[in-house]
Amino acid sequence: MKCNEIRELLSLYIDQMLDDNQRSDVEKHLSGCEACQKEYDDLNEFHLLLNEMEPVPVPDAFELRLKQALKEEKKRMNGFGGPIRSLFTNKQYRMVASVAAVFAVGILTLGVYQDVLGDFADKLNFVRQDGTEQAAPSDAEADLYGSSSGMDADSGNDIKNDDMNNKLDNLDDQIQMSTESNDQEMRYQADRNDEGSATPMQKNAPVKKEFAVAVPERASGNAGGSDSTAPSDEAYYEAGGAAPSDGVDAADENAKEKEISYGALAQDESRPKSKAGLSGESCSRSLTASSVERNTAAVQYYMNLIEERLDGFDYQVLNSGYAQTGTWNFKIFIFRGKDGNTYNEEILIIGKDGKIEVICSNEITGL
Amino acid sequence: MGDEKSFESLILGCQSKAYNIAIRYLKNEEDAMDALQESFIKIFRHLKSFKEDSRFDTWVYRIVVNTCNDILRKNSTRKTTDSIFRSEDDKETVIEIPDSSGSPEEVFDKKEKSEFIVACMDKLSQDQREIIILRDIQGFSYDEISEILKCSVGTVKSRINRSRLKLREIMMEQNL
């Protein structure tokens, strides 16, 4: 073998990477060639020297550095971009991020460009239109409620919509607030129902909405009822159909008057207040039922009759209700009779055809 | 994936060798620690992409080698390291090589010779230097080097031989 060929094999010879034949060829050559032998010695020497170099110990500081870096990396991986980034390789992530950035810049630029061109006004219009569009359903909703309540007032249809009930409850709140300023407030409930357990009819009965209205002259002599179950002189309200205590007595002779519309009592002084408490058109439509309004004089008339009949009694008118049959119902709580006896009884007075009829479960002297 | 402590214990077996590769490549402690930290973070981040049919340690060393080469490329634009006989204040080329074998004279002699060889290695191209580090200093086998550098064993063979011959040539020039 020539020296050039041997030189190509020297490293492999040092690293013992040659097969037996090659190794013997090299050894044969080296024994007869001083230059190649010298070269081999040099190479082998520095190979051994380098190989014998002791490893440099890792600085102690590194452990702490690595811990800190790993902690930060873990935080970064769990934080923004971590889960997304883990879906891609580095190159893919860079590409996706670049495309996203280009889109973001494009959208921003377009926005700025349109603003500069004066498209902003159009955008405002658009927003306004949007607002109208958004408002439209509410109006429709109000109309729907309004008409349904109107229907309720006129035809006594059920209102089963919870939203509607909530709405009415809110309105009741408002009305109550408007009447709370009056010291002598009492509630008239346009619910003809007697006290009694709720029957299945209750569910099918029309939703009874009531107003608390101020009737100063009625409460003047009745304030301070000591019975805890009796209505206090503080105005309150309850949802007629929803309150558990408001059952529909199936045996009631007025059961045929299931469809009752409810409204504010015809108290001239208080009515404007109630109206003032209503916040929107739909509210006035839903609560000041036209039939009730029309019968204001009738209610006043019956109230006068009731006053005459209950003269000398300690009582409180709890609520009133108007039925489509032309009947007015007044629920009245008798604290004391004119004989001075304490009754704490609820009675019903029905006003029809200009006359009133008293219905009470227990006998009360003088009625 | 994601547990730092188990990762630390996993990487511990490769840490010393990885650091020694880095310090031979970069020739100073601070850069070596930076490279090692960067490499380990890369490994931690891409642990999922590690293929189990290859060896974990060679995968780690490949990442360390690539990271060191990246750093060297970046550094080459900032400073030139062309002289093996630097000014005395430039200590970063001198790496302490502990050696406890042999008599004190022999130790001194060996140490001096080793330092001289290491200094001569700076005259090699990065490719040549790299293969000397991996083969002669770190003692990786030809197969391992082919794995680390992602090249064929044939290429490794010829590169090792050429690099050694070149290094000898440089040493002879410096001895004159």
Task: State residue A125's pLDDT score.
Answer: 55
- Alpha helices (runs of H) in B27-152, residue ranges in sequence order: 29-45, 56-76, 104-121, 126-132, 142-149
Percentage above 70 pLDDT, chain A: 47
CA distance A326 to A312: 29
Question: Which of the two residues, B80 and A157, has the higher pLDDT score?
Answer: B80
Task: State residue B95's pLDDT score.
Answer: 55
Helix (H, G, I), strand (E, B) or coil at A328: strand
Return the biggest CA–CA distance within chain A: 151
Q: Is A67 on the interface with B (CB under 8 A)?
A: yes
Closest-CA distance of chain B to residue A28, Å: 20
Please state the rounded mean pLDDT for residues B55-83. Answer: 84
Q: Is the pLDDT of residue A146 over 50?
A: no
Q: Is the pLDDT of residue B134 over 90?
A: yes
How many helices (H) and strands (E) chain B has is answered by: 7, 0
From A268-282, A309-323, A338-352, B66-80, the region with the lowest mean pLDDT: A268-282
Q: Which two tokens stand for residue A197?
A: 């357990």
Winning range, highest mean pLDDT, from A178-187, B36-45, B77-86? B36-45
Q: Which residues, at least 6 apart from A311, have a Cβ–Cβ distance to it below 8 Å?
A: A338
Task: State residue A166's pLDDT score.
Answer: 52
Please state the rounded mean pLDDT for residues B99-121. Answer: 77
- Partners of A41 on chain B (C-beta within 8 Å) are none
Question: Which of the two residues, A132 and A95, has the higher pLDDT score?
Answer: A95
Closest-CA distance of chain B to residue A115, Å: 44
3-state helix/strand/coil string of A9-71: HHHHHHCCCCCHHHHHHHHHHHHHCHHHHHHHHHHHHHHHHHHHCCCCCCCHHHHHHHHHHHH
Task: State residue B123's pLDDT score.
Answer: 93
Domains of chain B: 1-81 (1.10.1740.10), 85-176 (1.10.10.10)
pLDDT, tens digit, 9 for 90 and up, residues A273-315:
333 333 333 333 333 334 444 457 888 888 889 888 888 888 8
Task: State residue B54's pLDDT score.
Answer: 81
Closest partner CB to B142 (pick from A17, A51, A65):
A17
- Partners of A65 on chain B (C-beta within 8 Å) are 33, 37
State the best of A3, A4, A11 to mutate against chain B, taking most chain B CBs within 10 Å.
A11
ipTM score: 0.83
pLDDT, tens digit, 9 for 90 and up, residues A211-266:
434 344 443 334 333 343 334 333 333 333 333 334 334 334 444 343 343 433 43
Please state the rounded mean pLDDT for residues B98-104. Answer: 57
Question: Which of the two residues, B158 and A239, has the higher pLDDT score?
Answer: B158
From A15-24, A186-195, B129-138, B152-161, the region with the lowest mean pLDDT: A186-195
Q: Is A200 on the interface with B (CB under 8 A)?
A: no
Is residue A59 very low, low, confident or very high in pLDDT (cuts 50, 70, 90)?
very high
Q: Is A51 on the interface with B (CB under 8 A)?
A: yes
Q: Is the pLDDT of residue A333 over 70?
A: yes
Task: State residue B101's pLDDT score.
Answer: 56
In whole numbers, what is the pLDDT of chain B averaged over residues?
A: 85
Please state the rounded mean pLDDT for residues B13-29. Answer: 95
Q: Is the pLDDT of residue B158 over 70?
A: yes
Question: For chains A and B, what is the number of CB pairs under 8 angstroms?
Answer: 109
Task: State residue A66's pLDDT score.
Answer: 93
